[in-house]
Chains A and B, each alone.
Chain A
Amino acid sequence: MGRASRWAAPALSVLLLLLFLGVWHAATLPTAGQQVVDAEYAKLVGAAAATGQKTAFPSPADLGAKLWQHLKEPFYDRGPNDKGVGVQLAYSLARVLAGYFLAALVAVPVGFLIGMSPTVYRALDPFIQVLKPISPLAWMPLALFTLKDSSISAVFVIFICSLWPMLINTAFGVASVRREWLNVAKTLEVGPVRKAFRVILPAAAPTIMTGMRISIGIAWLVIVAAEMLVGGTGIGYFVWNEWNNLSITNILAAILAIGLVGMVLDQMLARLTKLVTFPE
């Protein structure tokens, strides 16, 4: 039973993948040459398009070939509109990490302050409540106008979207540190700095890390959209550029890459969260 259940889930996963690829393959098979449009129109657009023999949508094999091509040479750079997927992903990652760490630098100390002081919490709460639901992309024009640099604007958008989950979780984690631990610190006459680092920080760390994990997920979602807007470099720009090239294969390859990188980022944060989590 134990061994069977251990292999059942991966086997089912593989089976589902094969089923999906099979359906996809069948759906993209070239159909028999049947004229579906007017003969005059067929002359105009070419036989292939007119008969629907070959759609622009790639088959799994096309995508596999493309992926192999990208994997063989991920970091080539042949001018502004022809860079390897690896290079584009590196641009996106750099922007995400820059914005994310800037946000952490602001959110964790401010969150600490909010969590420690109910007065500060009540004072800042209306601002947070209004600013939090704003789509990060809505800041883009403002950022472009004030910062006058598209790449920095993208970093700013990442900053603003990863700020809120970290800020709110830090404040919540700090505010809900168990009273008895604070009482222990009090009876031991522990100073405020030692209390912050030795009691409150470890106690709130799992909640803070959860906020950071939510933030990295949101940041990775937003960077694609932001780069579609600002253009130039990055995986978001790559997707948009390939749309303009009508290369669905490249778009699919990019989508897969975005998913994989997002998963790796999330798993890294999950590992870190596990490190600071303590069993009760």
Chain B
Amino acid sequence: MSDPLIRVEGLAKRFAGRDGAHATVFENIHFSIEPGEFVCLIGHSGCGKTTILNILAGLEPATDGYVFVGGREISGPSLDRAVIFQSHALMPWLTVMGNVGFAVSSRWRDWDRARVRAHCQKYIDLVTLAGAENKRPAELSGGMKQRVGIARALAIQPKMLLMDEPFSALDALTRGMLQEEALRICAETSQTVFMITHDVDEAILLADRIILMTNAPNAKIAEIVVNTLPRNRNRHDMHRHPHYYRIRNHLIEFLVDRSRAFDEESAASGYDPRHPPLVRPGLAGDSPAPEHSIPARPPTAAKPLVAVVK
């Protein structure tokens, strides 16, 4: 196995409480991302998902722990790690071309105007926004705005793309289209991606590995789910694959149930935060139990599962 592109060791975030005690949002976060891999982090709101992404981006300091990119510890934001923000964060006084161009000319300061434009055009075409170059963000739909955000992030050719719930503010139809485009673009550019989401289907569609986080306070990585669906999956027939519902049910069961009471569960199973269990629920029916066995569910919690399986 090659050296991971990103290695996160013992990351923690604590806030000083009013009485001097520290409130721990998350701690003991260990994971790594291989080059070309698409990794999703999934968990309930408040568990510090966005904080982890901001720490990886260099926008926020961690209370504890280290992040290594390509073997070197990060010391702040970098053009190597482009961020796609949930709220697209486009500058409303610039056109589409201006927004992408601002990023490109920040990356390559010695490029002349024509070269910047040509480079921007390539990425505007990639996100299928050709023809809207001179529009301002206010004239674009939510989906188009987020495409500009994606083009801006990709145009600086980062080693790593960090996405913070990039599609959650969009309507369902637009979200589906953009997810597919993200899949296509990542396949075309073999981009390494770390994405935050709380949408289970989005995670299954896009991610190679899905990191499951428990609830705050003291959130931690419960396990890492390997997506065993073939990489050429798509939104339309993904659900026909036998692995799909196994993975989906596993994820939802975790979010509904286990994310809350993970401490009790982990105490019994010899959980090690440095090596959170790697599970393949997609293979659960075909092969013996994975490294980590799911404990029996209490009878009271059976209700949500009905809604989940449909």
Contacts and interface: CB of A to CB of B under 8 A. Distances in A.
A183 B60 CA distance: 10
Interface in A156-209: 178, 180-181, 183-184, 186-190, 194, 198-199, 202-203, 205
Interface stretch (B84-92, B195-203, B247-255): B84-92
A173 B92 CA distance: 15
Contacts of A190: 106
A190 B109 CA distance: 10
Interface residues of A, number: 20
A187 B56 CA distance: 11
B55 to A, nearest CB: 13
B91 A187 contact: no
Contacts of A186: 58-59, 76-77
A278 B89 contact: no
A276 B93 CA distance: 8
B210 interface: no
A10 B106 CA distance: 52
B5 interface: no
Given A181-B89, A183-B89, A188 B79 contact: yes
DSSP majority for the B interface? loop
Contact of B93 (A184, A188, A203): A203
A199 B91 contact: yes
Contacts of A202: 91, 93-94
A33 B94 CA distance: 73
B191 to A, nearest CB: 16
Contact of B77 (A181, A189, A280): A189
A279 interface: yes
Contacts of B103: 184, 188
A280 B87 CA distance: 12
Given A189-B79, A189-B106, A190-B106, A184 B91 contact: yes
Contact of B82 (A187, A194, A280): A187
Contacts, number: 60
Contacts of B138: 278-280
B136 interface: yes
Interface in B63-103: 76-79, 81-83, 85, 87, 89, 91-94, 102-103
B85 A183 contact: yes
Contacts of A183: 57, 59, 83, 85, 89
B89 A203 contact: no
A216 to B, nearest CB: 23
B124 interface: no
Contacts of B76: 186
A188 B85 contact: no
Nearest to A206: B93
B303 to A, nearest CB: 39
A279 B82 CA distance: 26
Contact of A194 (B77, B106, B136, B156): B106
B260 interface: no
B85 to A, nearest CB: 6
Contacts of B82: 187
A188 B91 contact: no
Interface string B217-243: 000000000000000000000000000
A195 to B, nearest CB: 10
Contacts of A181: 89, 91
Given A187-B59, A188-B102, A279 B89 contact: no
Scoring A178, A188, A203, A279 by chain B CB atoms within 10 A of each residue's CB, the highest score goes to A188
Interface in A260-279: 276, 278-279
B44 interface: no
Contact of B92 (A184, A188, A194, A278): A278
Given A278-B92, A278-B136, A279-B92, A184 B59 contact: no
A211 B226 CA distance: 57
Contacts of A205: 93
Nearest to B94: A202
The 10 A-B residue pairs whose C-beta atoms are closest, nearest first, are A279-B138, A180-B89, A278-B93, A188-B106, A278-B92, A186-B77, A202-B93, A187-B77, A187-B83, A184-B89
Interface of A: 178, 180-181, 183-184, 186-190, 194, 198-199, 202-203, 205, 276, 278-280
9 contacts: A180-B87, A184-B83, A187-B57, A187-B77, A187-B81, A187-B83, A188-B79, A188-B107, A189-B106
Given A184-B85, A190-B106, 8 more contacts: A180-B89, A184-B83, A184-B103, A186-B59, A187-B59, A188-B103, A194-B106, A280-B92
